[in-house]
């Protein structure tokens, strides 16, 4: 899927229109336009646009359904079954889900794992505010049931400060375990030839600020997380206090 935009670019340079490319590869017009913008397609820098008489109209004439069932050969790269896949998804998925899926086609596995790392980081930071316990007297009392009629009564739930703090620490520990797993997965993907220098640099900054489970310093950790998200320069060095 990651190579689809490259073959689509060749078609674009050969003179195919957005609509023809979208039909050929089973994607939306917006996806084709995003490929052009993201990857810098420019006919002026490549082949000249041929006359319409030379354009391969057989691949996508009006009302043509050749893309359905296309598993390679003329009109698609070897092994191409993208039209079948997208036709299946269009049948069962909502339009919003399809749009998100099509946008993700240009994201590499490294980018997707990094996005998940940032989402997990953000959740950990946000939890500091939501699950904050002021002091040992910070008790939460909440009405959970009220009965009327023949039987009148109320039920209340009380959470003591130490209960809330214990729940927070358990949740924090699970979140950090998930984060460390994502970082390890990202680190493994960096060993492939597809990794860029920017991707390698930013994970080194991240790893330096996420300690092992046996040596977690929550305050320093949260400060580092917030700093990294607010200042995501790839080659930046964060000094320890």
The DSSP line for 3-45 is: THHHHHHHHHHTT--HHHHHHHHT--HHHHHHHHHHHT--GGG
Residue 90 clears pLDDT 90, i.e. is over it: no
DSSP 156: E
Q: What is the CA radius of gyration of the chain?
A: 26
Average pLDDT score, the chain: 74
pLDDT of amino acid 154: 83
pLDDT of amino acid 50: 45
Greater confidence, 9 or 207?
9
């Amino acid at each position: 899927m990651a190579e689809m935009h490259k073959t689509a670019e060749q078609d674009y340079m050969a003179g195919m229109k957005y609509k023809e490319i979208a039909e050929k590869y089973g994607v939306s017009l917006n996806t084709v336009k995003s490929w052009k913008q993201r990857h810098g397609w420019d006919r002026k820098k490549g082949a000249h646009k041929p006359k319409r008489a030379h354009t391969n109209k057989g691949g996508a004439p009006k009302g043509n359904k050749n893309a359905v069932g296309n598993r390679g050969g003329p009109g698609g790269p070897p092994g191409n079954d993208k039209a079948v896949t997208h036709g299946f998804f269009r049948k069962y998925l909502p339009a919003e889900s399809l749009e998100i899926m099509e946008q993700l086609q240009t994201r590499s596995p490294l980018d997707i794992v990094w996005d998940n790392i940032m989402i997990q980081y953000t959740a950990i930071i946000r939890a500091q505010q939501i699950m904050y316990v002021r002091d040992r007297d910070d008790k939460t009392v909440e009405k959970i049931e009220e009965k009327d009629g023949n039987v009148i009564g109320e039920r209340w739930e009380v959470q003591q400060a130490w209960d809330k703090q214990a729940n927070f620490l358990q949740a924090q520990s699970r979140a950090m375990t998930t984060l460390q797993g994502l970082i390890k997965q990202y680190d493994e993907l960096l060993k492939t030839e597809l990794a860029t220098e920017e991707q390698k640099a930013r994970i080194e900054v991240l790893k330096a600020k996420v300690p092992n489970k046996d040596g977690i310093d929550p305050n320093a950790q949260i400060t580092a997380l917030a700093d990294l998200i607010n200042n995501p320069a790839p080659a930046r060095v964060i000094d320890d206090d």
